Amino acid sequence: MAIPVRSPAPGKPRAAALSDNDVFSGAEEARAFAQAIVDTVREPFLVLDKDLRVLAASRSFCTAFRVSPADTLGRLLYTLGDGQWDIPKLHLLLEKIVPEQGVMEGYEVEHAFPEIGQRTMLLNARKVFYERGSHTTILLGIEDITAERALEREKDELSRQKDDLLEQKVMMGREFDHRLLNSLQLISSLLSLQSRTTKNPEAAEQLSIAGNRVAALGRVHRRLHVLDHVETVEFKAYASRLCEDLSGMIHRERRAIVVEGDEAEIPTLLGIPLGFIVNELVTNSIKYGTGTITVRLELTPEGHSLAVSDEGPGLPEDFAATGPRGLGMKIIQSLVRQIAGELRIDRGDPNRGARFTVLFPRKQAPAAKAV
C-alpha cells in the first residue's frame, strides 16, 4: 500500500516535545536530513519523483553502480549512465505495477551494465503520496542477488551432473548384469556340454555339478536383476520365484516346493547369498529327500530364521555340518558366515526328514558381504 504523509493542521504544534519553531529552518536542511537517512541504507536506494527523476540516491547506489552523485541527482532514471537503467522490466514496474498497486516487493530483474557486468537484482518499490499536495514520490530499493543466483545455478548444475552420473551408474550396472548373466549362461552350457561328451563318469558328474551351480548363480542374479536395482526385496516373493525355476527339476517326480512364512523386506545385496543358500538346500532336498520341500522365513526377536525342510528319509545319525562333506555344504557354510548367521541342522516335522535352518540378523555387520 502507498504511504500517506500528513501535514499538521494549521495552528497546531508539530509535536508536544517540540517548540513552536519549525524543526528545519529551510528546505536545504530538510533535504540534508532526508539525504542522511537515505545514506544510512546499506542497499542501493533511490527516491524518485512522479516523473521518475532522481530526488535522492544513497551512497551505496553510487558505489555499487559506479556513478557520481552529481551525475545522478535531478536526472531521469532511464538516462542515468548513458541509458544503462533503461530496462524494459523497470519500465513495467515503475510505470504500471507501482502506480496501480502502490507497492511491489521482490521484483527480479536481470541486466548487463557496461561498468559492472551482468547483475541480478531484487527491486522493492513503494509509492508515497502527500495529503496536502498533488505530488508523489517513489522509494526504490535495489538488492543485488547476483552471487546468490550464481550459487543456485551452480547448485542446480551440480545436481544435474549428479543425476547424470547416477543414471550412468544405473545404466552401467544394467549392462554389467546383462553381460554377467550371458557369461554365466555360456559357462553353464559349456560345462554341461563337456559333461555329456567326457568318457570319464566321475569327471562327467563333477562337470555337471559345476554347471548346475553356475546356472544357480545365474538364476539368483536374474531374479534380482528383474528388481531393477531396488534397495530391498520382499523375500517371500523372491524365494517363490527362485523355487519356480527349480521346480522344473522335480516335475516328473511329482514333488512340490512350497514357500511360506512371514513377509519381510531384506536388503537386495543380502538376497544374493540367501538366494544361493536356498538354491543349494533345495537342490540337496531334491537329490536326497522325498516329499514336499518347504522353504519358510520367520521373523525372530534377533532377526530372521530361514528354514528348508523335506519329508524324508532324514539325515544319518552321524551327520555333522562341520565334518568333511561335499562342496554344497562348504558353500552353504561359507555363505552363512558371510551374512553373520548361524546354521542349525536337525530333523524335520514330525521328527523325520531333514531341516536346515539359517539364523541371521536384520542388520548386517560391516564385515558381511554378499557374493
Inter-CA distances, 83 with 72, 76, 113, 174, Å: 12, 10, 10, 58
CA distance 48 to 109: 18
Backbone phi and psi for residue 196, each to the nearest 5 degrees, phi listed first: -80, -25
Assign 177 a pLDDT band (cuts: 50, 70, 90). low
Report the percentage of the chain scoring pLDDT > 70. Answer: 73
Q: How many residues does the chain have?
A: 371
pLDDT in tens, 22-66: 444 455 665 666 677 777 778 898 988 888 899 888 888 988 888
- Residue 10: what pLDDT? 42
- Residue 245: what pLDDT? 75
pLDDT at 96 over 70: yes
Query: In 3D, which of 195, 210, 47, 201 has the Cα closest to residue 128?
Result: 47
- Residue 176: what pLDDT? 64
- Residue 151: what pLDDT? 92
- The amino acid sitting at 152 is E
For the ranges 13-27, 148-162, 229-243, 286-300, the lowest mean pLDDT is seen at 13-27
- pLDDT (average), residues 239-259: 76
Question: pTM here?
Answer: 0.48
Residue bearing the bigger pLDDT, 252 or 50: 50
CA distance 275 to 252: 24
pLDDT in tens, 277-312: 988 898 888 888 888 899 999 988 888 999 999 888
- Residue 357: what pLDDT? 93
Inter-CA distances, 62 with 67, 71, 73, 121, 272, Å: 5, 10, 11, 15, 68
- Residue 227: what pLDDT? 52
Burial category of 159 from C-beta neighbours within 10 Å (exposed 0-12, middle 13-18, buried 19 and up): exposed
pLDDT at 91 over 50: yes
- Residue 155: what pLDDT? 92
Measure the CA angle with vertex 85, ends 81 and 90; round to 5°. Answer: 170
CA distance 39 to 42: 8
pLDDT in tens, 328-369: 788 888 889 888 999 998 876 666 788 899 999 876 544 444
CA distance 72 to 81: 8
Residue bearing the bigger pLDDT, 326 or 82: 82
Query: In 3D, which of 91, 98, 148, 140 has the Cα closest to residue 119?
Result: 148
**Alpha helix (H) ranges present in the chain?**
27-39, 59-64, 80-83, 88-92, 98-101, 146-197, 201-226, 235-247, 268-288, 327-338
Assign 173 a pLDDT band (cuts: 50, 70, 90). low
pLDDT at 371 over 50: no
Non-local (6+) Cβ contacts of 347 within 8 A are: 314, 315, 353, 354, 355
